[in-house]
Structures are given as C-alpha cells and as structure tokens.
Amino acid sequence: MLKTPIKIGLVFLKREKEKILDLLQKKEIIHLIELKKITTIREELVDLQTKIAQVKFALDFLGQFQTKTKKTLKERIYQMFSPSFIYLKEEQLREKIENFDFQEIVQKCENFQSKLTELEKEEKELKNQQQFYQEWVQFPYALENLKEIKKVKTFCGLINNLSEFEKELKKKTNLYELKIIPSLKGQAPKVFLLYHFSQEKNVKELLAKFEAKEIKKIESSLQIKKRLREIEERLKEIAREYENLSNELKGLLNSFDNLKILYDYFTWSQKKIEAELKSLQTEKLIFLSGWIDGSRLEELKSNLEKITKYFEIFQMQPHKNEKIPVIIENKRIIQPFEMIMKIYGAPKPNEIDPLPWLAPFFIFFFGFCVGDAGYGLILTILSFILIKLIKLPAREKNLYYLLFYGGMATFLMGIIFGSWFGITTPKMQLLDPIKNPLLMLTLAFLLGMIQLIFGIFLRMYSKIKNKMVKEALLEDLPWIYFIVTILLFGAKNFLNLPTKIVNFLILSGALLVIITHSKKTKNIILKPFVGTISLYGVMSYLSDALSYSRLVALGLSTTVVGYVVNLTALVIKDILPLVGIVLAGVVLVFGHIFNMVISSLGAFVHSMRLQFVEFLPKFLEGGGSWFKPFARESKYVKFI
C-alpha cells in the first residue's frame, strides 16, 4: 500500500550536529528537504572531496594488480550474482578507520604510478627502436666507416618504382652500389644507395623524380646488431623492474579493503556536511525539515532522547503544490514487484498502490510467454538457490524472487501446454498452442480485456477514494458495462445467448456511454455529438487488447525453438555415430539454455510492457516522487 509521510521540523543545537546527523543517517528514517542551496564553499567539504578523490585513485590503481586466485564454484556463483560487499559491525568500522593511514598508501601509489609510467614510456620507445633496427639487421656496412670516405655519398630510405629508378640510374652513371634491405612483413623494402660525390646532382634529381623518402634515423655511431643487443638487454631489465614493482605492490593490496571502507566513510561524511549546508542555521541552532513515516515518529524521538535532550520535533503543514514523496509498503510476497514500479515511476500520494493488482497479471503473463514446464522447473530451482546462497538484504534480492515466481508460473503453464524442454506430452496436455493458435489468440485477447476492465475498475475505485464519486459513476462505470456487453456479443454463439437480449444489452451500453459523456459539455446542441464521438474510445480499448497477442507470439516461439533444438540434436545423433551422441548432447544443453534465457528475457520485457503501456495508464497518472531517506549510501560496505 502507499503511505503518505508527514512533514516535520527538527531543531537542535549546532554543537550536537555530528551526533544527530549521524543518527539520522544510520536510522534511514527521514527524507530531508533542501531548505536552501549550497552557496558557501566550506573548507571541510573541500577537504573531504579531495580525500575521496585520493582514495578513489588508490582503489583504481591497486585494482589493476589484484591477483586472480582460484575460486570454488560456490564463490564464482556468488561473485557473479552478488556485489562483493564488506560486512562490518559498527565498532569494527571505527577501529579500521582510526588505525589506518591512507595518506601513506596514496603517496606510495602515486610514486609507483610515476615509476610505472616512466618504465612504460621507455619500453615503448625501445620497442619502436627495436622494430626499426630489426629492418636494418642485414645492413652490410658500418656507417661510421662510410662517413670517413669523403668522396662517397649515401641515401637510406624508400624509393617508388625501384626497378625503373635503377634503369635510369644506370644510364646516368655506374659509380654507385644499390642494396635492398629486407623489411618486416607488410612494409615496403628499404633501399641503401652509395654513389660517387661527382654524381650527387644526377642522383638527387632522380630521387626527387621518383619521390624518394630519406630515413635519417639510421645514422648512428653503433652498429645495428650491437644496438639491438643493447635494446634487448634493457627490455629484460625493464621486465625485471616491472616484476619488482609488482612484488612491492602486493604489500599495498592488503590495504585494499580498508580503502574501500574509507571511501564509503568519507562519502557519508560528505553527505552529512551537505545536509547541514542545506539547512537553516543561526549562531547556535540548526533547523532541518523533512518527511517521515508517521508510524516512525516516536521511534525518531526515542533515539534522539538517547543522545541529547536539547532538541524539538514538531509537525508542519505542507506548502500549497508542494511535492510530497510516497512510501510504498507491502507484504513480503509483493515486495519483489517494487523494482518494476521503480522503473515505471512513483504514483502520486492520492493514487492507489498498483503492486497488489499488477503482480498476478505480470507473473501469469510471464508464464504464458515461456510456457515450458522444463524451463520453469530450472528457473524455479536456480532462483531458489540464488536466494539462499547470495548474502544480501531481502529487498536487494527482488530480481531473484521475481524469477522464482516466474519460474513457478512457467512450470504450471508448461503443464497446461504439455511442453517439457520442447517435447510435447499429449496425454498430459490440456491445451496445444501449436495446433490451436486461434484458440490461444482468443485466450490472449480475453486476458487483455479482463486486465483492461480491471484497470477501469481501479480507476473508478481511485476516484471514489478521492471523493470523486460522480465522475467515477458517470465516466467509468458505463465503460465497464459497455465493454462487457461487447464481449458478450462476441461470445453469444459460444455461450448460446439469445441474440435479442445481447443486442439490447450492447445498445443500452452504447446509449449509456453517450448519455453520461454528453454531460462533459454544457452546449445542448453539441451534447449528442460529444456523447456519440466518445464511443470511438471503444476502438482504443480493443486495440489495447490486441496488444496482448504478443503473449501468443512469444509462447509459440519458445515451443518452436525448443522443438527445433531437439530435432537438430536428433539429426546430428543419427548422422554421426558415436561422436554424434556427444555433439547432440552439446546441442541440447546449449540450445535449451539459449532458448530459456532468450524466452525469459522476452517474457520479462513484454510482460512489463503490457503493464506499463496498457494497464497502469488506465488508473495511474504517475509523476510522483519516491521517499528517499537520508542514509548511508554504500558502494562497498554493509553493516551486520
């Protein structure tokens, strides 16, 4: 059910702000109202933001070096489906914070990062040099000796159309030697040209003509092979330095959990300062305002009295048009569906809680879409294991509970459809979706009409609850009557109903809609036209009901894909003896896992879509805001 919180004011001494804000944050009891914008920059807040940034840097840096230890199957499943929180008691938190010098860890991380950056830069440069020199490893000359020969000129580089270049060079002179240097895979061959200084003009003209590109980087006082050996030795040294740094960093990894704890602690402290800055203050007093569940007001007073007697709580009247948050509170069986409402958005305080009415339709449609008893059984067992295995608060397991409910619904629908992993069991089958698609479509249409009529009924109930009895009776009740008469008209042959009675009912329903909706205008001439045009609304309801045909499409696709997986495995088994049995098993396992996952995902999305687009808008305007208590928003820490 939806609960509307009450607005309260809280006044306390400024000297006790830390204790009171800490209490409010721990108890998660009050939704604070921003009384003013933060306009001042407090040194304490800036300091905290700096510390948070420093701790985050250390966490990101050390996170790269965490060793991947072997985990048991249980640990792998737990890690896959559950956030890795650190579970602490309140006294343990203080102990870990007080005895931990995070600044030293941050400084070491900065030093290590600087060293690693330098090594990475040097390694990259050396590898580039290594790649370059490997191309010239077959170079036949020592450059330092060539430089001593005054009448010899050299060119190292790339020449386009080398064969043509050499032909023209031969025509001009024989005083040259041309060497082709083998290149690495995928790169053009390099050229080394020696020529007499007297031919410099001719050679340079040819080089320009063929768009030659000179490589000057080759000029060095060391021979290439010697330089490569030096590079290889230095790269080995860098690798050893990397290893030494990694070993030193392992000692810092012992502080990883403490850094996580400190990150959350600093974040909570930051939120407390921000809450204080958004409050109204005098020289000695602080005034906070917020929303609280009325049933917890005494609990708040009792907790405050344990830490101070200098405070005052009083109830306040909301301002006109003030947005009041809503609290959603349901029995444990309904709570998993809160995650669906979180996606849709919050109702307004004067609206009804849609969860108890949405839940059965959502689960039934999910089961209808998947419709295989084998898949339902696996979903039920798997989700039950996750619920028991994953160490999380109940509200954070909502998705697993939804899968559990959906699995049970799928199992029951699978029994009705007689489908077990794509294998039909005619003797146990109550309805064959493959042989009776028209019946399935009719059933989906009826389910849609039932939910839509129920949605109109809830809209009428919501209006009556808000003392809009006249609007409920004149606008919604006639539509319920009219739509029911249309359904009776469509089923008159099946139900063997007298035609005259059915015709009378449907005409009376249409007339009732015309009369009641004509009251929307005061113009006597326009009244009959307005009433008659309102009948067009029935097309909207019928088109909405047709949207439920997607239930049939998804249900049939699950059955057909399961059948194809089984048929493919059977063919592979028959075609390939011995090996075929193994391959058929692989096809069956992975094929049915794929079908189950895709079908479940489609069922979840489309069942949710039917609620969001067809059902909820019939009685829910939305646009409200959720009750968000001032709390410790943890990324890493959970208290036990």
Banded model confidence at residue 168, pLDDT cuts 50, 70, 90: confident
Reading the block at residue 462, the tokens are: 């919501």
Reading the block at residue 81, the tokens are: 């489906």
Banded model confidence at residue 552, pLDDT cuts 50, 70, 90: confident
- CATH number 3.30.70.2750 given to 140-217: yes
The 176-181 sheet, strands edge to edge? 176-181, 190-196, 152-158, 213-214
DSSP codes of every residue in 20-38: HHHHHHHHT-EEE---S--
The domain ranges of the chain are: 2-99+252-316, 140-217, 335-618
User: What percent of the chain is modeled with pLDDT above 70?
Assistant: 89
Mention every residue, 6+ apart, whose C-beta is less than 8 A from residue 111: none
Residue 69 pLDDT greater than 50, yes or no: no
Q: Residue 626 has what DSSP assignment?
A: B
Interval 239-279: pLDDT, tens: 998 888 888 887 788 888 889 989 999 999 999 999 988 99
Q: What are phi and psi of 241, to 5 degrees?
A: -65, -40
How, if at all, do strands 327-328 and 2-3 pair? antiparallel
Average pLDDT of span 79-104: 76
Least confident of 72-86, 117-131, 487-501: 72-86
d(CA 597, CA 601): 6
The whole-number pLDDT of residue 527 equals 63
Banded model confidence at residue 56, pLDDT cuts 50, 70, 90: very high
Is residue 298 within 8 A of residue 8, CB to CB? The reply is no
> Over the chain, what is the mean pLDDT?
83
Half-sphere exposure of 130 (CA within 13 A, CB side): 13
Banded model confidence at residue 137, pLDDT cuts 50, 70, 90: low
Range among 127-136, 508-517, 630-639 rated most confident: 630-639
Please, what's the largest Cα pairwise distance for the chain?
121
Nearest to 410 by CA among 546, 549, 555, 545: 555
Residue 283 pLDDT greater than 90, yes or no: no
Average pLDDT of span 375-400: 82
Identity of residue 206: L
Helix (H) or strand (E) holding 144: helix 143-146
d(CA 222, CA 245): 32
d(CA 236, CA 240): 6
Average pLDDT of span 341-364: 88
Average pLDDT of span 563-573: 86
To 5 degrees, how large is the angle CA 26–CA 31–CA 35?
115
d(CA 272, CA 636): 18
Banded model confidence at residue 52, pLDDT cuts 50, 70, 90: very high
- Terminal-residue alpha carbon distance, the chain: 28
Reading the block at residue 156, the tokens are: 């190292």
Interval 6-50: pLDDT, tens: 999 999 999 899 999 999 999 889 999 988 887 777 788 889 999
Least confident of 369-378, 519-528, 619-628: 519-528
The whole-number pLDDT of residue 221 equals 45
- Distinct helix (H) and strand (E) counts, the chain: 24, 15
DSSP E strands in 122-269: the ranges are 152-158, 176-181, 190-196, 213-214
Reading the block at residue 384, the tokens are: 């039950």
Interval 591-603: pLDDT, tens: 889 889 998 998 8
Torsion angle of the four alpha carbons 561, 566, 571, 572, in this order, in degrees rounded to the nearest 10: 100
Is residue 363 within 8 A of residue 600, CB to CB? The reply is no
Query: Taking the model in full, what pTM does it have?
Result: 0.72
User: What percent of the chain is modeled with pLDDT above 90?
Assistant: 17
DSSP codes of every residue in 231-278: HHHHHHHHHHHHHHHHHHHHHHGGGHHHHHHHHHHHHHHHHHHHHHHT
Interval 302-318: pLDDT, tens: 999 999 888 999 999 98
Identity of residue 125: E
Least confident of 87-91, 143-147, 451-455, 533-537: 143-147
Residue reference for tokens 């604070």 = 32
How, if at all, do strands 30-32 and 213-214 pair? unpaired
